[in-house]
Amino acid sequence: MVVNFARTSASAELLRQIFQSINAQSCPKLFNFHMHTVHSDGKLQPSTLMEQAIAIGLQGLAITDHHNIGGYEAAQIWLEDWQWKNPGANTPRLWSGVEINANLLDIEVHILAYAFEPGNLSIKPYLQRKATTGQQYQATNVIAAIHDAGGLAVLAHPARYRRSHFDLIPAAAEQGIDGVESFYAYNNPKPWRPSALESQQMQQLASKYHLLNTCGTDTHGLSILQRL
């Protein structure tokens, strides 16, 4: 397994601590680290997403639009304004986030980047609203770029790909990934709940390869409590 010696940001270290405590009850009412807005293929405006997050009482979240941080930036501006208007109110922590297409074991996977420095040059190629090509498309280089930007790299929904998560997670770990999206609702149940079998398998693999566990609804619809 590749050991990541890159200096992570203080924001990433705080997020790492939270990921270490994530369990099946964490999402979607306490934390949600996988959500999309109108800035990629979601239906929610960033302001509406943040309104829902506050109404639910989320403690922490990340907007992970595909290949851009427009939704995160708009949500951050909205949240700062809301805090100014509501001094002393409980405010959820919003981390930077993005979902990046990458090649792993000759198939396309999605890698979630969290708590990175948006202005870092290493992450810039992955924030251009489209997938990269060539060497930048390789998972090992995506993960390295996220680390160079001070962030954490997570393999999204590992059981949704054309190769087994039993192959993909060890390969991702070898290339330096920090975590896996262990708690994910593969059949879009209502209400949202993580798929029991897959979640158990992901946790076991995460433990075996010393990876963090994360959770998220992967919302693309009008509610952050559901995927669609």
**pLDDT, tens digit (0-9, with 9 covering 90-100), for 141-181:** 999 999 999 999 999 999 999 999 999 999 999 999 999 99
Residues 100-112, mean pLDDT to the nearest whole number: 98
CATH number at residue 45: 3.20.20.140
State how beta strands 107-114 and 152-155 pair: antiparallel
In a domain, 181, yes or no: yes
Look up the domain containing 136 and give its range: 10-215
Q: What is the CB neighbour count within 10 angstroms for residue 25?
A: 11
**Rounded Cα gap, residues 63 and 211, in angstroms:** 21
Mean pLDDT, the chain, rounded, equals 96
pLDDT band at 138 (very low <50, low <70, confident <90, very high): very high
Residue 3 has pLDDT above 60, yes or no: no
Residues 30-39, mean pLDDT to the nearest whole number: 98
**Rounded Cα gap, residues 175 and 84, in angstroms:** 42
In a domain, 133, yes or no: yes
In a domain, 74, yes or no: yes
Q: Looking at residue 74, what DSSP letter applies?
A: H
The number of folded domains in the chain is 1
In a domain, 167, yes or no: yes
Q: Give the 3-state secondary structure of residue 94.
A: strand
* Exposed / middle / buried, residue 72 (Cβ in 10 Å: 0-12, 13-18, 19+): buried
Residue 4 has pLDDT above 60, yes or no: no
- For the full predicted model, state whether its pTM sits above 0.75: yes
Determine the number of helices (DSSP H) and then strands (DSSP E) in the chain: 6, 8
Rama region for 137: left / alpha / beta (φ>0; ψ in -120 to 50; rest): alpha
In a domain, 185, yes or no: yes
Amino acid letter for position 190: K
In a domain, 226, yes or no: no
pLDDT band at 9 (very low <50, low <70, confident <90, very high): confident
**Rounded Cα gap, residues 215 and 23, in angstroms:** 8
In a domain, 36, yes or no: yes
**Rounded Cα gap, residues 102 and 88, in angstroms:** 41
In a domain, 222, yes or no: no
